[in-house]
Chains A and B, each alone.
Chain A
């Protein structure tokens, strides 16, 4: 301290001191630069991969491309479901300065409802600002033109073209094809569970019911994508890579437009269903449920007014009567029971019983009535089927017993889902002891077996099930799996949808099948057969069985009077028929609700359908 008080500056010492500090400063600078270099090394060399990935993530966006949905054709190649370009008005909120003003100006150009505007504004609030949001769908050509002409006035407003499903036949195929609609949350969850969600990144729609739903996977196709370079505002700079989407497979149906139109035409007056299948392989030829509705209503989201009308209609158009209409089969199942009777030797072709017009169980005076009050007299299996004698079957049914009936009929397919390629199907009911115990907690009484023997009481089927359960009669015990889709194609290759029939019955005696088919042929061919009148003059030989299902309980000794009871409690008319009678290629079931007698109302409709089938040569090649 003392030394530093000298007045004269020690230049050498000062210079040394400064140089020390300067060297120290340089060392410090080098140290600091080393820290920078070390940090750069960490960022640019050690973590290079990580930052490289994040940089790519910044710049590269993957834009999914929706595949085109597969088309649906009828058996002769007529388009039943197609993809049409539709135009929708879309707005990107981020690019619109004044939403209220823009909407007001748009409203001056084209019409949109307050409901549409509210839905739009709700979406604007819910979604990110740079997402494109639809204001109005299905613009017509004029609206598209107006908007195109005024495009410059509306930044952020675009007309988007998209392919949308269209069903050119409207209501004709609705219950078969079903329809598509926007994917909902539940469906999205299911897609995620199935590991399919990634493939739907660009898809808006999904099959809701019918074939559209059943074959969703095949029809949908595989998503493609584009890798695009974007800037910080998400604007596309260029396309780096493009993987095109693979369109869904086209599906080809066994359904025939002409046959379907005929079915629609002849069902016009009735609530009911017509189904026609090829009994050899189960291909569905006609599939119509009346009343129907236009599937196109659902594609863009049905309005609540339209939906309520469909939902609340007394005629219940939304029910698919072919597969969900659950009806007592009535006398149409007599041939099936006859086969069981013959195969179990409960009856033979020479068995005859006396029909006084009713049947009573031993030790009981309850009369189970025949539909002919005065009885058929002596009846064998031929008469019992051609004239539909109830007493014969009451008697046989009691002899067979519920267990054998239930087991055998189940084998033929009664009470089981047929496995057709739509999911909206009821299994209806083939009752058994176990079923009654479970359902009603009651034992099975012989009195339950009696009406069961003529296809009433607890026994129900769907029209399709009745048709399918008849195939073992015609195929020597082989049951078909009904299917509407006969082939898949992708533009290059075609793959048949083969579902070979299954042997479900053990054949005791081949001859029994011929007998049963013979009785059904006679129902049509001989005078007095219940379906004879309906088929007079037909150019082909057919076979069939009528059925009339009683819905209102008729008191003992009372007389059924159709005019006296409520229309909706009148009898259901059923007809089960096939042709040609020896080598059938078409099997038809007609079920009409509250229409009266099967022979008088249902059989003529089946005739008309078969007439068309043979004149038009549907299925001729097969």
Chain B
């Protein structure tokens, strides 16, 4: 376990700043590849590149900042942070700004703030805090308590409405429960309950546009110029890329603007078109490297809270990747999830890097503990 890949950051100079070198290299590789794709997807817009780089700079700074915080400190602040987050969500519900038909933003005067971003971190942290205060595997009451911590913010976000984010946040919490050793039998029961819940979701909780997205996903050709347009053009872009792609800046689907949202949610289609299946394999390899590295950090962590938080963040990151690629390539319905660290976009990137900061913190802050 002590080879180069698993990384022994202790001897690295970066380790002094609580930076995990392999993970940083993985992230930088991803960011570099992402910027290259974005340059093409944005129609070679220097302005957009600058904005993205500034955001990435901020996000990296946030990551480094979070890496400095000790896991114990984070654990102590987990529940208060969660309570603040819930309070903010309630505030959004009462006084938030409406944008694109959804009430998600809180106007702080100098900036718009999306409390649901805080909850992406706060929910798994709070659940991990709650679960790890008891021995593992958790008992049913602890699991129910953890589930309750998930449900409250999930419902608050779902009613904004932001179904995508609410499901992702719930998932992050559930990952904590899963990693904590929740029994397989219980997992099966929960899965059954969720299946039973789906019709209720469809009939009572989903808005018309959300239902439409699912219908479009099931049969995009039914409305090729309307809601099916995105997914059809996206699949054409991907498919026409072939094995080795059309070449950087030479994707006709993206350069001639047939592909909508090409620099944000559908940037994976641009990558597929210009770099082909080869480029996709490289991207997936980078993602896999990051995920595996993070899971190794998690498993080496010396307390349950750190393990659970880092593991949950890692799996959530994977879910982002999978949901985005799945929706762009037609495996999943279209939900507004960006491709982590590649799509053009702000807040979610900062949140994501904060999570990596937490993981790095977990990986580099060692507490001497005697094994029993």
Contact = CB atoms under 8 A, between A and B. Distances in A.
Interface of A: 4, 6, 8-15, 17-19, 21-22, 25-26, 29-30, 32-33, 35-37, 39-41, 43-45, 47-48, 50-52, 54-56, 58-59, 229-233, 237
B242 A45 contact: yes
A18 B362 CA distance: 15
B371 A11 contact: yes
A58 B326 CA distance: 23
A22 to B, nearest CB: 5
B178 interface: yes
Contact of A231 (B139, B242, B256, B326): B256
Interface string B221-253: 000000000000101111111110000000011
Given A43-B238, A52-B239, A52-B240, A37 B181 contact: no
Contact of B135 (A10, A12, A29, A41): A10
B261 to A, nearest CB: 13
A44 B372 contact: no
Contacts of A58: 233, 236, 252-253, 256, 258
13 contacts: A8-B372, A11-B371, A12-B371, A18-B136, A19-B299, A21-B311, A22-B311, A25-B311, A43-B329, A44-B272, A45-B242, A51-B238, A52-B240
A18 B311 contact: yes
Contact of A54 (B240, B298, B371): B240
A22 B315 CA distance: 10
A8 B371 CA distance: 12
Contacts of A50: 239
B136 A231 contact: no
A25 to B, nearest CB: 6
Contacts of B329: 36, 39-40, 43
Interface in B252-273: 252-253, 256-258, 272
Contacts of B151: none
A43 to B, nearest CB: 4
Given A18-B311, A32-B322, A232-B256, A40 B280 contact: yes
Given A17-B136, A18-B179, A43-B329, A48 B295 contact: no
B138 to A, nearest CB: 10
B288 A30 contact: yes
Contacts of B315: 25, 29
B351 to A, nearest CB: 21
Contacts of B137: 4, 17
Given A39-B331, A52-B242, A55-B240, A14 B136 contact: yes
Contact of B318 (A29, A45, A55, A230): A29
Contacts of A17: 136-137, 181
B243 A44 contact: yes
A41 B237 contact: no
Nearest to B280: A40
Given A10-B135, A14-B136, A231-B257, A26 B292 contact: yes
Q: Which of A14, A19, A40, A56 has the most CB of B within 10 A?
A: A40
Given A22-B179, A36-B325, 17 more contacts: A9-B135, A14-B135, A30-B288, A36-B284, A36-B326, A40-B272, A40-B280, A40-B329, A44-B239, A44-B242, A45-B277, A48-B243, A55-B236, A55-B237, A59-B252, A59-B256, A232-B256
Nearest to A237: B256
B291 interface: yes
A37 B253 contact: no
A56 B272 CA distance: 16
Contacts of A44: 238-239, 241-243, 272, 276-277, 280
Contact of A18 (B252, B258, B299): B299
Interface string B99-119: 000000000000000000000
A12 B318 CA distance: 27
Given A44-B238, A47-B239, A35 B304 contact: no
B191 interface: no
A32 B239 contact: no
Q: Which of B181, B239, B329 has the most CB of A within 10 A?
A: B239
Contact of B331 (A36, A54, A232, A237): A36
A535 B315 CA distance: 113
Contact of B178 (A21, A33, A43): A21
Contacts of A26: 291-292, 295
Given A36-B329, A51-B240, A232-B258, A10 B372 contact: yes
Nearest to B137: A17
Nearest to A1: B139
A18 B257 contact: no
Nearest to B369: A11
* Secondary structure of the A contact surface, majority rule: helix
Interface in B310-333: 311, 314-315, 318, 322, 325-326, 329-331
B307 interface: yes
B112 to A, nearest CB: 30
| Nearest 4 A/B pairs, CB to CB | A51-B239, A55-B240, A17-B181, A231-B256
A593 B114 CA distance: 95
Q: Which of B236, B253, B287, B308 has the most CB of A within 10 A?
A: B236
Contacts of B281: 37
Interface in B69-110: none
A421 B297 CA distance: 92
Contacts of B371: 11-12
A29 B179 contact: no
A600 to B, nearest CB: 76
A29 B372 contact: no
Contact of B277 (A18, A21, A41): A41
B337 to A, nearest CB: 14
B222 to A, nearest CB: 17
Nearest to B237: A55
A55 B181 contact: no
A14 to B, nearest CB: 4
A24 B252 CA distance: 41
Given A17-B137, A26-B292, A232 B238 contact: no
B174 to A, nearest CB: 12
Contact of A11 (B139, B272, B372): B372
Nearest to A33: B284
Contacts of B253: 55, 58-59
A94 B180 CA distance: 60
B239 A229 contact: no
Contacts of A48: 239-240, 242-243
B179 A21 contact: yes
B239 A230 contact: no
A35 B331 contact: yes
A313 B197 CA distance: 82
A18 B309 CA distance: 12
A311 B295 CA distance: 91
Q: Which of A4, A13, A36, A54 has the most CB of B within 10 A?
A: A36
Contact of B256 (A4, A33, A54, A230): A230
A12 B372 contact: yes
Contacts of A8: 372
A231 B251 CA distance: 12
Contacts of A9: 135-136
A11 B277 CA distance: 44
B239 A43 contact: yes
Nearest to A35: B331
A45 B291 contact: no
A471 B233 CA distance: 71
Contact of B291 (A29, A39, A231): A29
Contacts of A51: 235-236, 238-240
A170 B322 CA distance: 75
Contacts of B139: 4
Contacts of B280: 36-37, 40, 44
Interface in B290-304: 291-292, 295, 298-299, 304
A30 B318 CA distance: 10
A39 B330 CA distance: 9
B291 A232 contact: no
